[in-house]
Amino acid sequence: MAHAATTTLPIIAITSGEPAGIGPDIILKALIEQAFPARLVVLADPDLLLDRANTLGLKVSFEHVQSARDAGKHQQGVIQVSPIRQAKKTVAGVLDLANSPYVLETLKQAGEGSLRGEFDAIVTPPVHKGILCDTGVHFSGHTEFFQAQCQSPHVVMMLATEAMKVALVTTHLPLKDVSVAITEESISLVVRALNKDLQIKFGIAQPKILVCGLNPHAGEDGHLGREEIDTIIPTLNKLRLEGIDLIGPLPADTLFTPKYLDEADCALAMYHDQGLPVLKYSGFGNAVNITLGLPIIRTSVDHGTAIDLAGTGKANSGSLKVAIQHAINMANNAKKFSK
């Protein structure tokens, strides 16, 4: 049972991620290496964590929590686990379709617990989207999973480092489908949600948002594509009338330079691989992925499952630490806001 003095600390659910990947490794490392001012509950198979700790030679102890409210303040090296069982014992580095339902169950329980108010935030280590899809479910990302679970009309994927924030108009979409997904409606929903959450969750009174064009040179006056002229520019002009501070559309290759970035709070890219490579080049391993527009708080790491590193001890837990700390900060801010 949590001590009375700790009950004001936020309760953060941490899912295990893909069990054959580095999720278990980075959870163990992060929770040994850093003391977090929160009650942390890991939704995972305790045997998976114990096996991985043994493989990595890490000293750690486990406490089972039946209810999130029973969790105490995190202590380094003590992992509080809400048990969810895998179908099969995991071999580090070897994906197994049989455990995909386990992965989905950890996400389902984390989301449901958050919607019920049992968790103040969710932090998700990486899942392997391919192995989840191989079970026949359509899984394109946590972002879309929690959007569906929360029945949120629109969400925004934003990755952030100390130096830069990059949000996306479209998320996990094949490149051939991006152009038709860039509409007045999609841009407007994303820009409004982004502007609002930069104000509420990040305390930026009047966010300044840089917007990328879709085409090379932002379309070169229509000679290299018309999406800017037909859709992006008129939509941004309407959004400006709502008082939102937007710059652009700018050619993406020059937008990501200090001249522009230094003057703005966030860059908005039209698609995944337009914005995220820049962000990852600037801070891979220390960035956080935040889903905006949900009624719950969800943060994640900036990397994938790194199957090649599972169980080797080489996985860096930096991004998970940043993701946990962001979740704690956002949960504390949300509590202040709701008073």
Ligand X SMILES: NC(=O)C1=CN([C@@H]2O[C@H](COP(=O)(O)OP(=O)(O)OC[C@H]3O[C@@H](n4cnc5c(N)ncnc54)[C@H](O)[C@@H]3O)[C@@H](O)[C@H]2O)C=CC1
Using CB under 6 A, list all residues that contact ligand LD2JLWAY.
141-143, 276, 289, 300
Question: Residue 276 binds which entry of ligand LD2JLWAY, ligand X, none, with Cβ cut-offs from 5 to 8 Å by kind?
Answer: ligand LD2JLWAY
Task: Using CA atoms of 267, 270, 271, 273 in order, give the dihedral in degrees to the nearest 10.
Answer: -50
Distance CA 155, CA 140 (A): 14
Question: Residue 306 binds which entry of ligand LD2JLWAY, ligand X, none, with Cβ cut-offs from 5 to 8 Å by kind?
Answer: ligand X
Q: Which residues contact 231 (CB under 8 A, 6 or more apart)?
A: 182, 183, 184, 187
Q: Considering beta carbons, is residue 179 or 312 the nearer one to ligand X? A: 312
Using the rule CB under 6 A, is 309 a contact of ligand X? Answer: yes
Cα-trace Rg, the chain: 20
Nearest to residue 62, comparing CAs of 83, 86, 85?
83
Q: At what angle do helices 318-338 and 23-33 cross, to 10 degrees?
A: 70
Q: Considering beta carbons, is residue 11 or 288 the nearer one to ligand LD2JLWAY? A: 288
- The answer to whether 3 is annotated as binding is no
Question: Residue 305 binds which entry of ligand X, ligand LD2JLWAY, none, with Cβ cut-offs from 5 to 8 Å by kind?
Answer: ligand X
Using the rule CB under 6 A, is 306 a contact of ligand X? Answer: yes
- Select the residue interacting with ligand X from 161, 215, 316, 325 (CB under 6 A): 316
Using the rule CB under 6 A, is 308 a contact of ligand X? Answer: yes
Question: How long is the chain?
Answer: 339
Question: Residue 143 binds which entry of ligand LD2JLWAY, ligand X, none, with Cβ cut-offs from 5 to 8 Å by kind?
Answer: ligand LD2JLWAY
Per the structure block, which two tokens stand in for 117?
Answer: 């108010």
Distance CA 152, CA 98 (A): 30
Q: Which residue is nearest to ligand X (CB)?
A: 304
Helices within 68-222 (DSSP H only): 100-115, 129-133, 142-150, 178-181, 184-200
Question: Residue 316 binds which entry of ligand X, ligand LD2JLWAY, none, with Cβ cut-offs from 5 to 8 Å by kind?
Answer: ligand X
- The answer to whether 89 is annotated as binding is no
Distance CA 221, CA 116 (A): 50
- The answer to whether 217 is annotated as binding is yes
Question: Residue 194 binds which entry of ligand LD2JLWAY, ligand X, none, with Cβ cut-offs from 5 to 8 Å by kind?
Answer: none
Using the rule CB under 6 A, is 210 a contact of ligand X? Answer: no
Using the rule CB under 6 A, is 300 a contact of ligand X? Answer: yes
Distance CA 245, CA 228 (A): 18
Q: Considering beta carbons, is residue 90 or 143 the nearer one to ligand LD2JLWAY? A: 143
What is the nearest approach in angstroms of ligand LD2JLWAY to the Cβ of residue 132? 10
- Quickly tell me which residue has 């337009």 as its tokens: 274
- The answer to whether 154 is annotated as binding is no
Residue 9, Cβ density class (10 Å: 0-12 exposed, 13-18 middle, ≥19 buried)? buried
Distance CA 125, CA 230 (A): 39
What is the nearest approach in angstroms of ligand LD2JLWAY to the Cβ of residue 141? 3
**Binding site, annotated residues for substrate:** 142-143, 280, 289, 298
Q: What does the binding site for ligand X look like in residue numbers (CB under 6 A)?
A: 22, 26, 126-130, 142, 300-301, 303-306, 308-309, 315-316
